[in-house]
Homo-oligomer: A and B are copies of this chain.
Amino acid sequence: MRVTLRDVARLSSVATKTVSRVVNNQGEISKATRQRVQAAIEQLGYRPNILARSLVSQRSDTLAVVASGLEYYGPSHTLVGIEQQSYDLGYSLLLSLLPRPDDTNVSPVLDAFVARRVEGVIWAVPEIGDNRAWIQSDLLDRLPPIVFLSMEPRPGLSVVAVDNQTGAVQATQHLLDQGRRKIGVITGPLAWWEARERYVGWQDTLLRAGMRVSPSLVVNGDWSAASGEQGMRKLLEQQPDIDAVFACNDQMALGALGIAHQSGRCIPRDLAIVGFDNIPESAYFWPPLTTVYQQLVDVGRIAVQVLHKLVEARRHSEDGVELAATVLKPELVIRASSLQTPRQV
């Protein structure tokens, strides 16, 4: 049943090493031998066993990715980039999902990776609360190279992230440029690093413009459209003369749009709304949503490129590879939900 290199060698009357050479296209082999071997491979239906090869060559050609919230727009797009680049570089990809992104018990999944001798790890779980605490532990020393996504860059770690703060600045500045003066914000859960960055971007932009940042302009959401609805209701209550809202993702913006309509406001005339993420649906909201586009597929691709360099460096036992952060700038996508000049009071 199981066909091995030896079987092929026997059938084609050569040494196993010769078959190995044919399979891996290495060394000089006479045409006749090669053809004979290939015929035997064909005939027996031989498939090389990469596990055995890994054992002796000390390389698994496998990367692993730990992700969370794959149901959502961001993580799934990043994963696409990770997979594509891994494939392009010849790696297999092992996938592990954390059921809860704020999970702090990460050693089981990491142990499994080490046991399988993966050559590198992409940590694609958003930074929430202290779910990065394990980085301080000695766990990290026993691990292969690892690249972190969506987290605060810090020295000694390879991080690839989008500059959320700049994105929020772009969104808020755009609203200012459109003549808006009472700009509220619906934040994400502030335990999330990304949510904090977006909030700070909003805040800084207003302060730099010499405006007051009243607490009545701030409500907290949880990324869901339901929380966007709730947040919008609260904002309209706390600050009836509000003329713009920066919702920290598109789902919350969607919820906010609905409530704004229900309150009888015309968008963007009475109230401008800007989101974050540029989910495909946002171009078809009513009105189409101005939002911040992040190149999440690129984040994934770049992460694997960085990881690949770390893996290569370790293979050649180069020391002192500088671990740096790669930060991508997002882009504002301007649509109807923010475009009209506000009505003069």
Binding site for B on A (CB under 8 A): 45, 47-52, 54-55, 60, 65, 70-71, 76-77, 79-80, 83-84, 87, 92-97, 99, 111-112, 114-117, 142, 224-226, 228-229, 251, 254-255, 257-258, 261, 279-281, 283-284, 286
Contacts and interface: CB of A to CB of B under 8 A. Distances in A.
A39 to B, nearest CB: 17
B251 A47 contact: no
B71 A83 contact: no
Contact of A50 (B93, B116, B279): B116
A48 B48 CA distance: 23
A229 to B, nearest CB: 7
Contacts of A251: 280-281, 284
SS of A interface (majority): helix
Given A281-B251, A284-B255, A93 B92 contact: no
A84 B99 contact: yes
Nearest to A115: B50
A319 B117 CA distance: 34
B112 A92 contact: yes
Contacts of A71: 76-77, 80
A45 B83 CA distance: 31
Q: What are the 8 closest A-B residue pairs judged by CB atoms, nearest first?
A: A76-B76, A225-B284, A95-B95, A50-B115, A83-B97, A254-B284, A47-B114, A93-B95
A279 to B, nearest CB: 8
A5 B255 CA distance: 57
12 contacts: A45-B142, A51-B51, A65-B95, A70-B80, A71-B77, A76-B76, A93-B95, A254-B281, A255-B284, A257-B286, A258-B284, A258-B286
A298 to B, nearest CB: 14
Contacts of A280: 224-225, 251
B111 A83 contact: no
A111 B261 CA distance: 55
Contacts of A255: 284
Given A49-B55, A225-B281, 15 more contacts: A47-B111, A50-B117, A51-B54, A51-B116, A51-B117, A70-B76, A71-B76, A84-B97, A92-B116, A251-B284, A254-B281, A254-B284, A255-B284, A258-B286, A281-B281
Contact of A142 (B47, B52, B80, B115): B47
A117 B284 contact: no
Nearest to A142: B45
Nearest to A286: B286
Contacts of A96: 83, 87, 93
A284 B112 CA distance: 41
B47 A115 contact: yes
A135 B224 CA distance: 42
Contacts of A83: 70, 95-97
A29 B134 CA distance: 33
A94 B92 contact: yes
A117 B76 contact: no
